Amino acid sequence: MLKDSKTKLYVNGKWQEGNSYYDLKSPYSGEIIARVPLATPEEVEEALASADRGKEVIKKMTSLERAKILEKASHIFEQRLEECAEILTQENAKPIKAAKGEILRTIETYRFAAEEAKRIHGETIPMDAAVSGRGWFAYTRREPLGVIAAITPFNFPFNLVAHKLGPAIAAGNSVVLKPANQTPLSALLTAEIFEEAGLPPGVLNVVTGRGSVIGDVLVRDTRVKMVTFTGSLEVGLSINAKAGLKKVTLELGSNSGLIVDSTYDLDSVVSRCIEGSFAYAGQVCISIQRIYVQQDLYEEFVSKFVERTKKLVMGDPREENTDVSAMIHMDEATRIEKWVEEAMNSNAEILSGGKREGALFEPTIITKGSSELSVNSKEAFAPIVTINPYNEWDEAIEMVNDSSYGLQAGVFTNSMDKAFDATDRIEVGGVMVNDIPSFRVDQMPYGGVKNSGMGKEGIKYSVEEMTNLKMVGFKVN
Ligand code: NAD
């Protein structure tokens, strides 16, 4: 069991016992790490009432006061980096070096939010551009929405909470946070850090437990003015169907495609691709799932890719040299095992990996499979990548676009014409030229098209989503 970590509900600035608990287990060792409350609908109701009061409290705070709390929280994360990384590694089996990387990003995300809190503003409107607008002075202002329900996934439990909480506080909203049931400790530690940073009671409330039991209470409540959700397509669709007229942003999955057209440095391209395909066992929404390589480069690319993938170290996420550890649950690993079987039963070829041991799944490379195979057409969210050659540029663009998802894509090319063509024609929320689709910094606009979701994150863009643009007009003369 983890010592000193708070495993209670955080409501109205108080740590309260739950009515019932569940055992949180390490995905890697199966050990019980903590006992965590399974919030009931009544407890969620209390959290909503608390957030409804909290919204009035934060509304009265100045932007400087909000910025200082975010800055202080960022600073506390910096001081408690090792502890945060350890909790993260324990609860979601992220290898410790990647866990530290996530905390460094979290520190930066809250710092961006602190900066953004100070520059939320409207603009003056040139009313007299319209025939009937003469004599008017008008401007817009951005107002907080009120109560925001934030529902988050297991894979980046500190930084994706930061992407909701940071801009919500910056914009002056209160929050009820429901973290993934696999990763409650990171959310509770975040609440502890904000309490220490001086966030008033009621502004942040954390309810742990099962989305299927308490999700509806949050999503349907009319006091909630926005649901900001990051997670799977299936849950995102159900939330959107139930949310009524409240604002909804959905950050969903993908099966990201990458084109390797030409490069002066194939070695570094291969290194980036391995990182993008297998980091955190592929459980990253912008993990590379499909790579299309120009025929002339294909053999060399594949041979280097396979050779280096075989050197990845699998094992205990607490070890500094571990590259790939357990998937979040054995069920996820067995799902992928079936997908690999399906590929093997077709005409596909496995170039490396393909085996499972408990929840550990080998980094797996597949080629020659049809685009209908699960490994190509669905979101794998696993350490698995398909690599296929192409001859014509248009063919590569079509293959990348042959997906129901559209989060991010990558293109390696020495041709400016192709680079611009790719940014024009690939149907995604973001295109990375000369890097992998998995590249993200936390202030950039981020969010998908097609089944990858709706709405944008990236602190400034989340603040826009989390505020209401009010129009104010004065008839002056
Ligand atoms: P998930 O959809 O299973 O769960 C996400 C959250 O929704 C959890 O907190 C869960 O408890 C909650 N939930 C479950 N059922 C609910 C319901 N009926 N009502 C309300 N909430 C409910 O996703 P996951 O397995 O935690 O995460 C993996 C998914 O998240 C992948 O599809 C991945 O691509 C996606 N993801 C997207 C982004 C992005 O920014 N686009 C980032 C990370 C992960």
Of all protein residues, the one whose alpha carbon is nearest to atom 22 of ligand 1 is 211
Check residue 455 and give its pLDDT. 98
> What tokens appear for 380 in the block?
């794998």
What does the alpha-carbon distance between residue 271 and residue 436 come to, in Å, rounded to a whole number? 10
pLDDT class of 6 with cuts at 50, 70, 90: confident
Query: What is the mean predicted confidence (pLDDT) over 260-284?
Result: 98
Average pLDDT value over all residues in the chain? 97
Q: What percent of the chain is modeled with pLDDT above 70?
A: 99
Average pLDDT over residues 301-320: 98
Report the candidate in 207, 228, 230, 210 with the shortest Cα–Cα distance to residue 219. Answer: 228
144-187: per-residue pLDDT in tens? 999 999 999 999 999 999 999 999 999 999 999 999 999 999 99
- Taking each continuous run of H as one helix and of E as one strand, the counts in the chain are 15, 24
Q: Is the ipTM of this complex over 0.90?
A: yes
Q: What is the per-residue pLDDT for 437?
A: 98
Residue 31 phi/psi, 5° resolution?
-65, 150
Closest ligand 1 atom, residue 251 Cα: 41
Residue 245 has pLDDT above 90, yes or no: yes
Element (DSSP H or E) covering residue 41? helix 41-59
Catalytic-residue membership of 78: no
CA of 86 to the centre of ligand 1 (A): 22
Helices (H), 279-329: 295-309
> Does any ligand 1 atom lie closer than 6 A to the CB of residue 212?
yes
User: Measured from the CA of 216, which atom of ligand 1 is nearest?
Assistant: 19
Task: Using alpha carbons, select from 381, 391, 41 the residue that is nearest to residue 210.
Answer: 41
Write out pLDDT tens, residues 429-474: 999 999 999 999 999 999 999 999 999 999 999 999 999 999 999 9
Q: Is the CB of 154 under 6 A from ligand 1?
A: yes
Sign of CA dihedral 140, 249, 447, 84: positive
- By CB atoms closer than 10 A (0-12, 13-18, 19+), residue 403 is buried
pLDDT reading at 4 higher than 90: no
Give percent of the chain above pLDDT 90: 98
Residue 200 near residue 58 (C-beta atoms within 8 A): yes
Task: Summarize pLDDT for 94-148 with one digit per residue, the tens.
Answer: 999 999 999 999 999 999 999 999 999 999 999 999 999 999 999 999 999 999 9
- What's the pLDDT score for residue 1? 59
Q: What confidence tens digit (pLDDT) does each residue in 339-386 have? A: 999 999 998 999 999 999 999 999 999 999 999 999 999 999 999 999
Overall average pLDDT of the 34-52 stretch: 98
Q: Say what the pLDDT of residue 134 is.
A: 97
Options 86, 102, 285, 457, the catalytic residue:
285
Instruction: Kindly calculate the radius of gyration of the chain based on its CA atoms and give it in whole angstroms.
Output: 23
pLDDT band for position 477 (50/70/90)? confident
> What mean pLDDT is predicted for residues 403-415?
98
Tell which one of 44, 151, 227, 284 to mutate to probe ligand 1, the residue whose CB is within 8 A of the most ligand atoms. Answer: 151
* Pairing of the two strands 136-144 and 124-125: antiparallel
Distance of alpha carbon 322 from alpha carbon 375, whole angstroms: 25
285 is an active site residue:
yes
Confidence at residue 175, expressed as pLDDT on a 0 to 100 scale: 99
Question: Distance from the CA of 150 to the center of ligand 1, in angstroms?
Answer: 11
User: What's the pLDDT score for residue 198?
Assistant: 98
The yes-or-no verdict on residue 50 having pLDDT over 70 is yes
Are 228 and 149 in contact, with CB atoms under 8 Å apart?
A: yes
- Separation between Cα atoms, residue 4 and residue 27, nearest integer Å: 20
CB of 215 closer than 6 A to ligand 1? yes
Q: What integer is the mean pLDDT of 310-323?
A: 98
Is the minimum distance from the CB of 336 to ligand 1 under 6 angstroms?
A: no
Beta pairing partners, 469: 142
The C-alpha angle with vertex 471 and arms to 470 and 473, in degrees rounded to 5, equals 145
pLDDT of residue 2: 60
152 lines ligand 1 (CB under 6 A): yes
Confidence at residue 111, expressed as pLDDT on a 0 to 100 scale: 98
Q: How many CB atoms lie within 10 A of CB 334?
A: 14
pLDDT tens sequence across 208-224: 999 999 999 999 999 99
* 226 Cα: distance to centroid of ligand 1 (angstroms): 17
Please count the other Cβ atoms lying within 10 Å of the Cβ belonging to residue 186. 28
**Are β-strands 364-367 and 349-352 bridged in parallel, bridged antiparallel, or unpaired?**
antiparallel
The pTM of the whole model exceeds 0.90:
yes
**How do 408-412 and 14-16 pair as beta strands?**
unpaired
3-state helix, strand, coil in the chain (%, to 5): 40, 25, 35
- Burial class for 268, CB neighbours closer than 10 Å (0-12, 13-18, 19+): exposed
